[in-house]
Amino acid sequence: MSLFKKTLIKKNYKYKLLDDGISKEDISKAKNVLNSKQITMASQTRKFEETFAKKMGVKHALMVNSGSSANLLAIFAAGNPLRKNKLKKGDEVIIPVLCWSTSLWPLVQFGLKPVFIDIDPNTLNVNEDDLIKKINSRTKCIFLVNVHGNSCDLFKIRKIAKKKKIILIEDNCESLGSKLKNKHLGTFGDFGTFSFFYSHQITSGEGGMIVCNNDNDYEILFALRSHGWLGGTRFYPRRLKSYNYYAKKYPSLDPRYIFVNSGFNLRPTDIQAAIGLNQFKRLNKLILNRKQNRKLIIETLKKDRRWENQFQFIEPSKNINPSWMGLPIIIAKKYKKQKMKFLSYLDAKGIETRPIISGAFTNQPATKLYNLNPTKRKFNSAQSVQELGFLIGLHQNKISKDNLNLIKDSFLNIEKI
Ligand SMILES: Cc1ncc(COP(=O)(O)O)c(C=O)c1O
């Protein structure tokens, strides 16, 4: 704990998780929204959703205020009374143990039973064959997490899920822009979710998106996002197909204020949408820059005479064209004991680090609070990723020589820590 005391107040890292992520143009787009005084969800949100759906090759995209909200919506839509094939309380859901907190909690909040599976430490993602072996008659949903731009063979998983009528959800919050055989990750399942939080492929500060191809699912998501409200908000330029149906059926209600489902308020602001949309337009360039920075960092380390395989880097899975979020790094086993000291050293040198997602999530105290691993199962691969892994950022702009040297000299000093 004390090793990282300074991190809480220290903001002046030389190499941050994300640097200069918001452009002048992004700021000007945000200012335009402020000047228009139409801050709540409206035309910018709709425009971003349309542009996003088109590029991803899906029928519907719905913007929300975070990736966590997108996950919450995916689960509550998958279990909604308006859905034919729906999740019920107590149903089992397969989820990788290397997940983010809010990949998991919507399952628990809905009353589902998470069944954790281990990962492949070489890809950080589940192995499709291992996953398929875990499917049984109680499995009603597979909630995949595409970790750091990578995925398993989603074609294979999708085929089995379809055959067995298992709902497939992809938490793609870390992998916007990655493609498997030219198909975007996040578009394989019934629902796919995305995050635009700081240091993700694009950022709107806070923000997220959920995609689907089914009209009925979209109507459910639309209502759940905004109070269960048929009309969304008055400023949002889109009506549901069912609008006329409900307006006719309930003539005594003001048609603008009909509530057709349960609901949350997970709406983004138009400021977030304007920034997100502007970033999304340059996604291809950002992906390329991150790829080049990754290559530069790895080459610089490997070319140095002090390189002795002190670190391992995660490579793309088969047929993946990756869109990296950060640079996950696994240190050699012999340095396991000094990992925290090493991270603290990097911190002091001005290099910001973080864990790979949050390690094996069953190690987190919150899962004990809800008794989510009653048999105390061990997940050896995720455990080793937690013990040996950490992450540094990949920036949207080309990495400077100074930062490359800083990383090289600090990393290759690991022996002396
Ligand atoms: C896999 C995964 N799912 C969900 C989220 C939550 O996204 P947000 O921070 O936008 O709520 C994150 C956040 O980084 C994530 O890594």
Quote the ligand 1 centre to 352 CA distance (angstroms).
Answer: 19
Question: Side-chain half-sphere of 286: how many Cα atoms within 13 Å?
Answer: 28
- More confident: 404 or 8: 404
Q: Are 176 and 283 in contact (CB under 8 A)?
A: yes
Question: Could you state, in order of their start, the residue ranges of all structural domains in the chain?
Answer: 2-20+283-416, 24-281
Residues 415 and 417: their CA atoms lie apart, in Å, by 6
- The amino acid occupying position 385 is V
Q: Are 141 and 93 in contact (CB under 8 A)?
A: yes
Mutate to test the pocket of ligand 1, among 102, 172, 201, 204 (most ligand atoms within 8 A of CB): 102
Tens-digit pLDDT profile for residues 43-97? 999 999 999 999 999 999 999 999 999 999 999 999 999 999 999 999 999 999 9
Please, what CATH class does the domain formed by 2-20+283-416 belong to?
Answer: alpha beta
The token pair at 273 is 């949408």
Tens-digit pLDDT profile for residues 364-375? 999 999 999 999
How does the average pLDDT of the chain come out, rounded? 95
Ligand 1 is surrounded, with C-beta below 6 A, by 66-68, 71, 100, 102-103, 145, 171, 173-174, 195, 197, 208, 357
| pLDDT computed for residue 334 by the predictor | 96
Which atom of ligand 1 lies nearest, measured to the CA of 71? 4
| pLDDT computed for residue 81 by the predictor | 98
Which atom of ligand 1 lies nearest, measured to the CA of 200? 14
What architecture is the 24-281 domain classified under in CATH?
A: 3-Layer(aba) Sandwich (3.40)
Helices 67-78 and 215-225, interaxial angle, to 10°?
A: 120
Measured CA angle at 244 (ends 241, 249), to 5 deg: 125
Quote the ligand 1 centre to 263 CA distance (angstroms).
Answer: 21
Which atom of ligand 1 lies nearest, measured to the CA of 69? 11
Question: Side-chain half-sphere of 406: how many Cα atoms within 13 Å?
Answer: 18
Backbone angles phi, psi at 100, to 5 degrees: -90, 160
Q: How many CB atoms lie within 10 A of CB 183?
A: 14
- Kindly state the average pLDDT of the residues 330-356: 96
Percent of the chain's residues with pLDDT above 70: 97
Tens-digit pLDDT profile for residues 155-183? 999 999 999 999 999 999 999 999 999 99
Q: Are 100 and 171 in contact (CB under 8 A)?
A: yes
Task: Compute CA distances 220 → 216, 250, 262, whole Å.
Answer: 6, 19, 9
Question: Is the model's pLDDT at 252 over the cut of 80?
Answer: yes
Quote the ligand 1 centre to 102 CA distance (angstroms).
Answer: 7
Quote the ligand 1 centre to 190 CA distance (angstroms).
Answer: 19
Catalytic residue (choose from 60, 148, 184, 200): 200
Tens-digit pLDDT profile for residues 95-145? 999 999 999 999 999 999 999 999 999 999 999 999 999 999 999 999 999
pLDDT confidence band for 1 (50 / 70 / 90): very low
Q: Is 200 a catalytic residue?
A: yes
Q: How many CB atoms lie within 10 A of CB 124?
A: 27
**DSSP label at residue 97:** S
Tens-digit pLDDT profile for residues 268-277? 999 999 999 9
Q: How many CB atoms lie within 10 A of CB 285?
A: 10
- The amino acid occupying position 280 is F
Backbone angles phi, psi at 159, to 5 degrees: -60, -45
Quote the ligand 1 centre to 266 CA distance (angstroms).
Answer: 15
Mutate to test the pocket of ligand 1, among 17, 72, 197 (most ligand atoms within 8 A of CB): 197
User: Closest Cα partner for 291 from 416, 149, 415, 196?
Assistant: 149
Tens-digit pLDDT profile for residues 179-221? 999 999 999 999 999 999 998 999 999 999 999 999 999 999 9
